[in-house]
Structure 1
Amino acid sequence: MRIGELSRRTGVPVPTIKYYLREGLLPAGELTSPNQAAYGDAHLRRLRLIRALLDVGGLKIAAIAAILDAVDDPAEPVHHVLGVASDLLVARPAQQEEDAAREKAVRQVDELIRRRGWRVAHDGPGAELLAGALASMERLGHGDFRQMLEVYADAAEQVARADLEYVAGGTSRDVLVQGVVVGTVLGDAVLGALRQMAQTDQSARRYGERSAVAPARDGDDVP
């Protein structure tokens, strides 16, 4: 296909495609004449991945380039490629004060990782985010929330397994990484929405008033 068709099929403007080509994010097409090139399905997949990283993941061009370098390196295991993408999608929290609450939270996260046998870095973005959240809870007088960690960890493992099952059918590394981007960013939005709905339902069941039963009218069947 020509660049115009590539643009139509992906919704990416031609000037933007040319910019990606210049930056090396998109591989060059096959020259069919001095001024014409042909593009294939691999270009479609790569463009969709770039747009997912940019529009959904909110990543900068430099971060996208780092992910694409890992995707294109055949020596890189798939686990490492997905890890690079996942780490860049999680924004590290702002530096927090190293007070007693922070130190306690870091210990709790370290213990959780060891207890669960999770093969993750103790100083990775996820661990940093969790420690920051637990420290904030401690300062607000909700340190007992740590008792909920195992419940949350069980739910997280179940969701993570489902995420990986969803992307496991990917036919290329581009598709796998795109699935991780969608699952991480949009999946978080879906999970947050479902949690809010479930909390509302549970609140209604636990604290809501029972609906008054309307009196039967003449002629109505009464059970």
Structure 2
Amino acid sequence: MRISELSSRSGVSIATIKYYIREGLLPAGRPVAANQADYDEDHLRRLRLVRALVAERGLPVSTAADVLAVLAETGTQNGTDGTDGTDEDGAAGGEGRGVHRVLGRVFGAMDTARDRERAASEAGLTEVRRLVTAMGWRIHPRSAAVPALARALDALDQLGVRIDCRTLLPYARLAERTAEVDLDLLAAAPAGSDLAEHAVLLTVLLDPALLVLRRLAQEHHSAARQPDPT
């Protein structure tokens, strides 16, 4: 297909498609003439994924590029390249380890340079570490999620809302149940599917839907607590 058809089918303007190509988010088309290129269904799928990351999820272009780089690097490590299911160290049972590594790579790519520049307070980090200990979670010492949560607590604290480990525990238990569903869905991915892409879809692009579900639940319970059902 020509770039005009790619634009029409994806809903992304031609100018934006060319920008994504320049930034390395979308592979260039196959040249067919001096100023023309041909695109296929793989380009369309990739473009829709890029649009979801940038326009729907709101990721900076540089962060989206990092996430897509993870997809490119890990796409052949899920058994579709003829590997025998061992991990990169040659140990058996590599499938589970593969999911863990893919998630780690995806989460690392989501840790933007802009976020890393905002140092978390020691008080915030202490509360997050207390939470991790209380939940018995196995978290990597360099996990980007720990300072990210601490920065969120810092922002609340600056506005006069103090959230500590005890307050977070009920939320952490709910998050743990959600994570179990995520991992079950990843484990149930069809054979031969792209594990890294599934990880992105279920852990990155599903986030906005989970936020909306929370809003719906809040609306319901708020209405249920009113004396007048209407």
Question: Within 1, Cα distance between the matches of 2:114 and 2:144?
Answer: 6
Q: CA RMSD in A?
A: 3.6
2:82 aligned with 1:82: no
> Greater shift after overlay, 33-42 or 159-168?
159-168
2:30 aligned with 1:30: yes
What does residue 176 of structure 2 align with?
157
Q: 1:209 to 1:89 in 2, by over 3 A?
A: farther
CA distances 1:109-141 after superposition (whole Å, capped 9, x unpaired)? 212213333333456443234334556559948
Q: Which amino acid aligns with 1:197?
A: E
Which runs of 5 or more residues in structure 1 are unaligned? 212-223
Q: Quick one: percent identity of the two aligned structures?
A: 34
Give the superposition deviation at 1:88: 4.2
Question: Within 2, Cα distance between the matches of 1:89 and 1:153?
Answer: 26
Question: Within 2, Cα distance between the matches of 1:199 and 1:128?
Answer: 31
2:64 aligned with 1:64: yes
Give the superposition deviation at 1:175: 5.3
Q: Which amino acid aligns with 1:107?
A: T
What does residue 12 of structure 1 align with?
12
Give the superposition deviation at 1:49: 1.5
Contact 2:29/2:37 (<8 A) preserved: yes
Q: Which amino acid aligns with 1:18?
A: K
CA distances 1:139-183 after superposition (whole Å, capped 9, x unpaired)? 94856x643333211101112233444566473344542443321
Equivalent positions of 1:198-217 (< 5 A) are 198-201=220-223, 204=225, 208-209=226-227
Question: Within 2, Cα distance between the matches of 1:89 and 1:158?
Answer: 30
**Structure showing greater Rg:** 1
What does residue 52 of structure 1 align with?
52
Task: Tell me the TM-score normalised to structure 1 length.
Answer: 0.69
Contact 2:128/2:165 (<8 A) preserved: no
Q: 1:89 to 1:79 in 2, by over 3 A?
A: farther
Q: 1:193 to 1:85 in 2, by over 3 A?
A: farther
2:212 aligned with 1:190: yes
Give the superposition deviation at 1:34: 4.4
Q: 2:132 aligns with which of 113, 132, 135?
A: 113
Q: Which amino acid aligns with 1:8?
A: S
Q: Which amino acid aligns with 2:204?
A: V
Question: Within 2, Cα distance between the matches of 1:89 and 1:169?
Answer: 32
Give the superposition deviation at 1:58: 1.9
Contact 2:130/2:165 (<8 A) preserved: no
Give the superposition deviation at 1:55: 0.8
Question: Within 1, Cα distance between the matches of 2:11 and 2:67?
Answer: 22
Which runs of 5 or more residues in structure 2 are unaligned? 78-100
Question: Within 1, Cα distance between the matches of 2:168 and 2:227?
Answer: 31
User: How many residue pairs align between the two structures?
Assistant: 200
What does residue 2 of structure 1 align with?
2
Q: 1:35 to 1:142 in 2, by over 3 A?
A: closer
SS class of match (2:129)? helix
Q: 1:165 to 1:187 in 2, by over 3 A?
A: farther
